Amino acid sequence: MKPIAIVTGAAGLIGQYFIKNASRWARDWEVHGLSRVDLDLTDQQAVDRVWQSLKPSAVIHCAALSRTKDCERDPQQARRINVEATAYLARCSKEIPFVFLSSGEVFDGRAGWYRETDHADPINVYGQTKLEAEQRVLQNPKHTVLRIVLTAGTSLNGNRSFVEEMRRTAASGKTMTLYGDEFRCPLPVGVIARVVWELVRREASGLYHLGGRDRLSRWEIGQALLACYPELQGHLLEGSSADHTDAPRPRDLSLNCDKLQALLSFPIPGFREWLQNRMQQEGDLWDYESILT
């Protein structure tokens, strides 16, 4: 019998890609996806029952309260889901590989090109809860934390990624303001899925950063997407983070990924390079097919 791997947050953008690509990158595993409908991760007794039933040999923890606005609005709920539930899952998985998807939001965004050894200093509730969860997870030397930043992809319901949000806004006839001085290192979701399966296979523990090779402003990201989504034309406005009045957002969350790259069997692509390659092929733009360059 194949060992069982559990993927939490299976209804989310990244979780969906883990399940979708399991037959290619996790052939040796029987993969069980758990969404919020399947299991309330804040219910410890329910978690115990699922773990006793499935007896997993690895866990990939994607589930989170990830919208910054929601975390600022309800910090207690953010802590229950992002910190307490994560810590309990890690304890349930103390003898097996456990990969926790964290965020570059643990940094304040004043520097950029952050390494794993750089000081984390979050400026919003989401980043704070992710940092606390990291600390709990890394108490176990068998466990892994992977920080990511901005994920591009398409979900089953079309409402999970920043690309989908932009397309919905354009379809409604509205404009959107993209900051020319707020920087990220976006990466297609298919790349993230393949990276994590490689980490699981290698049982690579510790803290790693994963982002695209390109450091792009929000405005530059929008301009790069026009070639793939011409419907965005005329709906993008360039703005400045100085005018931001919503939940605090770090200005520069570019990540240095040298530590992780040294472990992988393929090069982490840049966002623009990925778009150019995928536009020449058929299939899911954000899938994993052409990440080898």
**Residue 289 included in any domain:** no
CATH code: domain of residue 164: 3.40.50.720
pLDDT score, position 288: 55
Q: How would residue 7 be classed by pLDDT, with cut points 50, 70 and 90? A: very high
Residue 84 carries which DSSP code? I
Retrieve residue 35's tokens.
Answer: 């969404």
Q: Looking at the predicted structure, is the pLDDT value of residue 154 above 80?
A: no
- The Cα 55–Cα 256 span in angstroms is 35
Contacts of 231 (CB under 8 A, 6+ apart): 167, 170, 171
Q: Looking at the predicted structure, is the pLDDT value of residue 157 above 80?
A: no
Residue 267 carries which DSSP code? P
Q: Looking at the predicted structure, is the pLDDT value of residue 290 above 50?
A: no
Q: Tell me the pTM.
A: 0.93
Residue 152 in contact with residue 275, Cβ under 8 Å? Answer: no
**Residue 245 included in any domain:** yes
For 183, the domain range is 4-279
**Residue 157 included in any domain:** yes
Mean pLDDT (whole number) for 205-229: 95
- Taking all residues of the chain, what is their mean pLDDT, rounded to a whole number? 92
Overall residue count recorded for the chain in this entry: 293
pLDDT score, position 22: 85
pLDDT score, position 139: 98
- The Cα 66–Cα 105 span in angstroms is 10
Q: Looking at the predicted structure, is the pLDDT value of residue 24 above 90?
A: no
Q: How would residue 29 be classed by pLDDT, with cut points 50, 70 and 90? A: very high
